[in-house]
A and B are shown apart, each in its own frame.
Chain A
Amino acid sequence: MHRHDDISWIDAKISYNTCEGRGLLCLHHLFKNHFLGGDERRVDSRTIYVGHRPCPASEPFIPPKFCDNRIVSSKYTVWNFLPKNLFEQFRRIANFYFLIIFLVQVIVDTPTSPVTSGLPLFFVITVTAIKQGYEDWLRHKADNEVNKYPVTVLEDGRRIRKESEKIKVGDVVQVEEDETFPCDLILLQSSRDDDTCFVTTASLDGESNHKTHYTVPDTEKDLESLNATIECEQPQPDLYKFVGRMHIYKNNQEPAVRSLGPENLLLKGATLKNTQKICGVAVYTGMETKMALNYQGKSQKRSVVEKSINAFLLVYLCILVSKALVCTTLKYVWQSKPGQDEPWYNEKTQREKDTNLYLKMFTDFLSFMVLFNFIIPVSMYVTVEMQKFLGSFFITWDKDFFDPEIKEGALVNTSDLNEELGQVEYVFTDKTGTLTQNNMEFIECCIDGFQYKYRDASSELDGFCVTDGPVSKLQQKAGREKEELFLRALCLCHTVQVKESTEQGQDQVDGLTDQLDGLGVDGELSQPQEQQRGFIASSPDEIALVKGAMRYGFTFLGLESKTMKILNRNNDVEKYELLHVLNFDPVRRRMSVIVRSTSGDTLLFCKGADSSIFPRVRQEEVERIRMHVERNATEGYRTLCVAYKHLSAVEYAQADAGLREARLALQDREEKLMAVYNQVETGMSLIGATAVEDRLQEEAAETMEALQGAGIKVWVLTGDKMETAKSTCYACRLFQRNTELLELTVRTLEDGGRRREERLHELLLEYHKKAVQDAPPVKAGVTRSWSSANQDYGFIVDGATLSMVLNSSSDSNSSRYKNLFLQICQNCTAVLCCRMAPLQKAQIVKMVKNSKGNPITLSIGDGANDVSMILEAHVGIGIKGKEGRQAVRNSDYAIPKLKHLKKLLLAHGHLYYVRIAHLVQYFFYKNLCFILPQFLYQFFCGYSQQPLYDAAYLTMYNICFTSMPILAYSLLEQHICIEVLLDNATLYREIAKNAMLRWGPFLYWTILGVFHGLLFFFGVRYLFSNPALQDNGQVFGNWSYGTIVFTVLVFTVTLKLALDTRHWTWINHFVIWGSLAFYVFFSFFWGGIIWPFLRQQRLYFVFANMLSSVSAWLVIILLILLSLLPEILLVVFRKPRGPHSRQVQFVMIKFVLI
């Protein structure tokens, strides 16, 4: 890895040096490709000729080939729809299996007509195709709307209207206000004076704030004469990353080079705001735009239930094959007896006689397969999908998920994972915005070791109010200079924008009100209306700080053409030239600005987490402030430290050069920038610290308690500092007062004064002993007995230590550490991981996900930094919070508030799981007892593949007679009603670990199916020992036999479901009794007419005749009752499960405990 970095650095150097000589560049490419092979980090660059004007460089102008600006999100065209869609559909293993069965039926002489399996398959395929076709048509429509949208292109000095899809890379495109950009553009010219334009990316990432983008510096105003090339990286999906370089050729001069960054790039899909018009050159078009690259599907998550289904399918496939094998073998054994194979009354056709014996065996095997193939029903897939799709509506419909504040309910992005919500074992939650409201409020600050707490603006003359500082310094203040420096720092060191609502047009105000709402511009400020300001920033902390400064008399007025204006306490406007912004990033955990005051001083202001600031300031200042910071942190506030530094002219020149150079770099720009930042942000002096309160979400504690009661382990993964996070955990009752905390952080590692690795090892072993070995053996899984007086452990780990655990130097150690670490974590009731980078969050999730037993994980978060963990976990939940919509977009489910998680898991998840588990088991069961009699019948019909049931029954069984009741059940069942589920979180544990779809229950259902099948077949078999069943002495034939078995089957299977139904709504009644009635009606109808299209009138009046026989009635009643008898007994002997009795039990337990 290290070597690679070196090389890439050299590589970048080369590329930088060769930027003038194009010829060398090729060499460089060659070198790179040759030398580095397929290193993925390597991105080739592309060269764009602005306005297609050849650059004056010596080599000939070859217009490069790029894709056009057509957006194709559709998958099909009219021509390829059928073949492509069919291909896609039959790639699914189940569909393919049914296709094979169908083909076998067509080719081989099989007992059932191809219609029996062809019809359902055709139905499924057609419905899917129609649905996908419709969706694709919608996509076509949407694509066309975008592709045919007229845009203005500057060509040879003229403005030409073109369709959007005809834009080519290098075209200069003009976009007007409120239009969306047709492709990714480099901003060349803006109608605004300050060479900026404003953009919203609401449709891209949901952030509705206005972002400022800059024109390429020093480009000519006259675009016609602009002669330039742009060299930039190949398209990549990261919306916030872009590196490029622009070469501007002026007459016979050395080409000027400008660096291009994301601030110069206007993304397709974003909308131009507050700017009349802009011109830009297209760099990425069509499917290569960042937006298009971002919509290429995310990986699909599969639920555990689906894995169980597949496992069961395999079992049934084995049953199927073995049945067919048994029958084939027995058939040939049986036929070997003389006179059996071909008695005089039943001769074979000539063709059959001629067929090769082995071929015949094979076709016989296939025939048996076809005869028994109903054991794996195509309809199960349809029903499961329907259940998931329709079932997910209940989440969106739930009014408890509706949040009046944002006027939105829950959102379901995928319906595949409904049941997974009932299986969650680990919840990984973000802290900020998830556990807390992310509604920041400036609480207090500490300047130079003195504490300032804002109480009431009017109580003291200058707006300051000093309260409980350190006792000795009570009522003392820092020097006024320090105060003002601190407040200036707060006013300057940020990326906040001001929305002057009075200056903008009325329409703007409308659009902004919702943003203003959330920003806490409340009565507290009690300022005149015209001075009300909306601040817009990517992080609410910054707004809180700026507002805080405002309370103390320093108002940030805004940024105008690189000048920041501040209204100070004396109501004077101070101006600062903004020289550089050293952006915030989660790794550095700080941001800085370099400004020049009117007096000519160059100042660097830096704010950031204490851990990242303290090492960079003079140590003597630290102690005074550290105390405050730590106290604030334990109180649950978010703390930031503010530092500053005077830059001398030389220092500034150095920093400026470094920054510019790094910004120009095409390769590894990030790393280089980081290096320069680190270099600049040193030797600062600490001015003070701020404390911002982030209030807990509503019912956060109750939700966490419920989750823990449900046996779910809650891990808090946050980027925040440990003390803050810890106090939040206490506030959320994740840690109780009696919880023993095991800390594994940098601080504890450095305690011993020894090497960190050794200490880590020692601590891990110690904690392991404590939490794992000494703890009484916990019963399998998550069953933590809730009455026991066990010591609860809480575990705290920070990012640095975590990376030590995970990436320990020697591999053997690493895996051992990881195991120890995991075991400790799994035995703790709550785990807090602080100081986490986004990727580390995902790493943790992955580690737990892949640990022993593959527990189901759920990640919940609201910000862009949670996306990685949301994508990584089995179930990702986004909170429709304030930090944009990335989390929501990438989540599987989105809810407005954390408190909704409780109902989502405990009620919806639980019910969905029970429903689908029952659905799956029931489906296998009902097809087993459907096919088993058919299998047994082979022993009585000379293994001739004679079907027991009529073809209509074979086809309709799964489609009509038994499908609706189970579908209704799987949508409506509430074996325990929702209120009880919510009240007793422990109920969630009953279904933990896929309890209803493990081999035990599967075996139970299979045995039940076998029992029923045997009963049906042999019950009727003994009845038919004398087929004279009517009171007129007439006899019944084979179709009557099948019909009786089938009638018993349909009734038993439906009534079995009725027995399992604990929640009888009118729909259940309607569907259960309706489908039984339908069966009877259909049988009369089907047997009542001589059907002209049928070759054989097998069932003609069979059903009616059956009903005229008392014996048939008696046997049907007997068999149904006998089949259900064990079931009823089991229900009685099992623990009472009804909602009422559950309560009773609960009360009893309580009673015993008291």
Chain B
Amino acid sequence: MMASTYNAKDEDGHITVAGPGGGTLRSRKPENTAFKQQRLPAWQPILTAGTVLPAFFVIGLIFIPIGIGLYVTSNNIKEFEIDYTGVDMSSPCFNCSQNFSWNSTRPCTCSIPFYLDQPYESNVFMYYGLSNFYQNHRRYVKSRDDSQLNGDSEALTKPSKECEPYAFHDNKPIAPCGAIANSMFNDSLELFYNDPNGTKVQIHLMKTGIAWWTDKHVKFRNPGGNNPNLTVAFQGTTKPVNWRKPVYELDSDQENDGFINEDFIVWMRTAALPTFRKLYRIIQKKKDMVLTLPRGNYTLEVVYNYPVRSFEGRKRMILSTISWMGGKNPFLGIAYITVGSVCFFLGVVLLIIHHKYGNRNNSADISN
């Protein structure tokens, strides 16, 4: 019969499905299964003051020690930070920051003396920090070509449109293309220890181990496969506009040159917030010495290449030790202690409530 055997309902693109089979279920007894009768065995937890009470105490008891641990750890991390932007007239880098030009051939250098009032044990990590630098701006974040960076030869000569306006220069494809690469941090920082006896000892800064292992070994690859000659591999491309040297001259070390240069890789991991720090170098603890950086006077020598004053940015150099929780950050410790205490407090409140009102409940239970 026409459409009468099923529901010919007007639905207008509605995903309503008319109820299960009009009339097709005729004279069929519904199956008596637990699922169909909504009688699946079920656990029916009831949260009452009584059941939650121990949980609160347990949380409190776990969180407070963790929090204290975190707080102490964070406090034990030694961190030294120095702003070398050169905003103040008194700052050694003032001149460099004033007379900045992309085309200047002679690099501007400045040296900043500082004093570490406590010795740094174990490995020390050297970061550079930038402020008011929007690495997370959308136009900036997407301005890269990951296939190019992964060594794809086609993408090398035909950079993605996302790289605009940093895709081509003088009709040559830019490698690496994009705004991120173009604005790579190119100050070079060197650290000298001023011996009490007057000599300046350069501290060895390790360039590797600063980027994620997977980035260095999988995500970033030089074009041309295993061809050791990067100059050839990058033939036909041009360096990013703001760079002083092409990508294949970033480092003399073959394993740290081209796209797999770790400074470059670190830079390419865009920061989450406009004030950020990036790992620059690692000062490894020498085997024979107890202290990596003893207390004393140091000099930071900066080759000032990176302009930040135009957007009111700041540049910092940070020396920090690292613990199991990472860099210095008291937030976690405080948060854990707070939450733990709150839980403990609530536990006490609940205990009181439980004692005052819970008894009546119990008696009702018994009468039942």
A1038 close to B272 (CB less than 8 A) = yes
A73 within 8 A of B: yes
A393 within 8 A of B: yes
Which A residues between 1121 and 1153 are near B, CB-CB below 8 angstroms? 1121-1122, 1125, 1128-1129, 1131-1132, 1136-1141, 1143-1144, 1147-1148, 1151
B196 within 8 A of A: no
CA distance A179 to B75 in the complex (A): 94
A1021 close to B273 (CB less than 8 A) = yes
B198 within 8 A of A: no
Which B residues between 134 and 176 are near A, CB-CB below 8 angstroms? 134-147, 150, 160, 162, 164-166
CB distance from A1060 to the nearest CB of B (A): 11
With A346-B179, A1038-B272 as contacts: A398 and B2 at CB distance below 8 Å: no
A399 close to B13 (CB less than 8 A) = no
B332 close to A397 (CB less than 8 A) = no
A1024 within 8 A of B: yes
Task: Give which listed residue, B46, B139, B332, contacts A944 with CB less than 8 A.
Answer: B139
B27 within 8 A of A: yes
With A142-B3, A413-B19 as contacts: A73 and B8 at CB distance below 8 Å: yes
With A343-B311, A415-B16, A1138-B44 as contacts: A203 and B1 at CB distance below 8 Å: yes
Q: Which residue of A lies closest to B14 (CB)?
A: A92
B9 close to A300 (CB less than 8 A) = yes
Chain B residues, CB < 8 A from A941: 134, 136-138, 274
Chain A residues, CB < 8 A from B134: 343, 346, 941-942, 944
Which A residues between 1031 and 1081 are near B, CB-CB below 8 angstroms? 1031-1038, 1040-1041, 1059, 1062-1068
CB distance from A120 to the nearest CB of B (A): 13
CA distance A628 to B160 in the complex (A): 98
Render A380-410 as a binary contact track against B, CB cut-off 8 A, 1 for contact.
0110011011001111111101100001110
CA distance A1026 to B31 in the complex (A): 61
CB distance from A474 to the nearest CB of B (A): 51
A1064 close to B43 (CB less than 8 A) = yes
Chain A residues, CB < 8 A from B312: 339
CA distance A142 to B2 in the complex (A): 5
B137 close to A1118 (CB less than 8 A) = no
A1028 close to B320 (CB less than 8 A) = yes
Q: Which residue of B lies closest to A1065 (CB)?
A: B40
Chain B residues, CB < 8 A from A350: 165
B315 within 8 A of A: no
CB distance from A289 to the nearest CB of B (A): 10
Task: Give which listed residue, A346, A385, A1110, A1138, contacts B325 with CB less than 8 A.
Answer: A1110
Tell me which of A126-134, A441-449, A629-637, A679-687 binds B. A126-134
Which B residues between 287 and 335 are near A, CB-CB below 8 angstroms? 307, 310-312, 320, 322-329, 331-332, 335
A-B contact count (CB 8 A): 372
Chain B residues, CB < 8 A from A1147: 364, 367-368
Tell me which of B85-93, B208-216, B222-230, B243-251 binds A. B208-216
CA distance A1024 to B274 in the complex (A): 11
CA distance A269 to B139 in the complex (A): 67
Q: Which residue of A lies closest to B22 (CB)?
A: A413
CA distance A1037 to B342 in the complex (A): 32
B140 close to A345 (CB less than 8 A) = yes
A90 within 8 A of B: yes
B209 close to A1100 (CB less than 8 A) = no
A127 close to B25 (CB less than 8 A) = no
Q: Which residue of A lies closest to B11 (CB)?
A: A132
Chain B residues, CB < 8 A from A1139: 44
Tell me which of A290-298, A565-573, A798-806 binds B. A290-298
Chain A residues, CB < 8 A from B285: none
Q: What band does the interface of chain B fall in when counting residues whose beta carbon is under 8 Å from A? A: 35 or more
CB distance from A1015 to the nearest CB of B (A): 11
A22 within 8 A of B: no
Chain A residues, CB < 8 A from B127: 1028, 1035
Task: Give which listed residue, B150, B272, B365, contacts A1144 with CB less than 8 A.
Answer: B365
CB distance from A1074 to the nearest CB of B (A): 16
A1148 close to B364 (CB less than 8 A) = yes
A1115 close to B19 (CB less than 8 A) = no
Chain B residues, CB < 8 A from A292: 2
Chain B residues, CB < 8 A from A392: 19-20
With A347-B179, A392-B19 as contacts: A1037 and B272 at CB distance below 8 Å: yes
Chain A residues, CB < 8 A from B164: 349
Chain B residues, CB < 8 A from A78: none
Chain A residues, CB < 8 A from B209: 1032
B219 within 8 A of A: yes
A1109 close to B138 (CB less than 8 A) = no
Q: Which residue of A lies closest to B3 (CB)?
A: A73
Render B12-51 as a binary contact track against A, CB cut-off 8 A, 1 for contact.
1111111111110111111110001110111111111100
Chain B residues, CB < 8 A from A85: 13
A88 within 8 A of B: yes
A73 close to B2 (CB less than 8 A) = yes
Query: Count of chain A residues with Cβ under 8 Å from any Cβ of B?
Result: 137
Q: Which residue of B lies closest to A1044 (CB)?
A: B272
CB distance from A472 to the nearest CB of B (A): 55
With A88-B13, A388-B16 as contacts: A1144 and B6 at CB distance below 8 Å: no
A1026 close to B329 (CB less than 8 A) = yes
Chain B residues, CB < 8 A from A1040: 272
B117 within 8 A of A: no
Main secondary structure of the interface of B (DSSP, over half): loop
B68 within 8 A of A: no
A276 within 8 A of B: no
CB distance from B206 to the nearest CB of A (A): 11
B137 close to A946 (CB less than 8 A) = yes
Q: Which residue of A lies closest to B152 (CB)?
A: A1092
Render A781-806 as a binary contact track against B, CB cut-off 8 A, 1 for contact.
00000000000000000000000000
CA distance A1151 to B42 in the complex (A): 30
Task: Give which listed residue, A135, A349, A1140, contacts B46 with CB less than 8 A.
Answer: A1140
With A381-B15, A1097-B219, A1121-B59 as contacts: A397 and B6 at CB distance below 8 Å: no
B15 close to A385 (CB less than 8 A) = yes
Task: Give which listed residue, A348, A393, A946, A1034, contacts B136 with CB less than 8 A.
Answer: A946
Chain B residues, CB < 8 A from A124: 15
CA distance A386 to B17 in the complex (A): 8
B137 close to A142 (CB less than 8 A) = no
CA distance A1021 to B136 in the complex (A): 14
A1027 close to B29 (CB less than 8 A) = no
B125 within 8 A of A: yes
CB distance from B151 to the nearest CB of A (A): 11
With A394-B36, A409-B29 as contacts: A1111 and B325 at CB distance below 8 Å: yes
CA distance A73 to B278 in the complex (A): 69
Q: Which residue of A lies closest to B21 (CB)?
A: A396
A259 within 8 A of B: no
With A339-B310, A348-B165 as contacts: A402 and B16 at CB distance below 8 Å: no
CA distance A1017 to B51 in the complex (A): 31
A139 within 8 A of B: yes
With A111-B138, A1148-B364 as contacts: A1023 and B3 at CB distance below 8 Å: no
B183 close to A344 (CB less than 8 A) = yes
B271 close to A408 (CB less than 8 A) = no
Chain B residues, CB < 8 A from A1035: 127, 266, 269, 271, 276-279
B346 within 8 A of A: yes
A411 within 8 A of B: yes
- List 15 interface pairs A-B (beta carbons < 8 Å), by A numbering: A348-B139, A393-B36, A394-B38, A397-B30, A402-B30, A413-B19, A1026-B326, A1036-B272, A1066-B40, A1101-B215, A1105-B212, A1118-B339, A1132-B52, A1139-B44, A1140-B44
Told that A346-B183, A1101-B212, A1144-B365 touch, could you supply 4 new A-B pairs with CB distance under 8 A? A343-B310, A399-B29, A409-B25, A1101-B219
Interface residues of B (CB under 8 A from A): 1-23, 25-32, 36-38, 40-49, 52, 55, 59, 63, 66, 70, 123, 125, 127, 133-147, 150, 160, 162, 164-166, 179, 182-183, 209-212, 214-215, 218-219, 242, 266, 269-274, 276-279, 282, 307, 310-312, 320, 322-329, 331-332, 335-336, 339, 342-343, 346, 350, 361, 364-365, 367-368
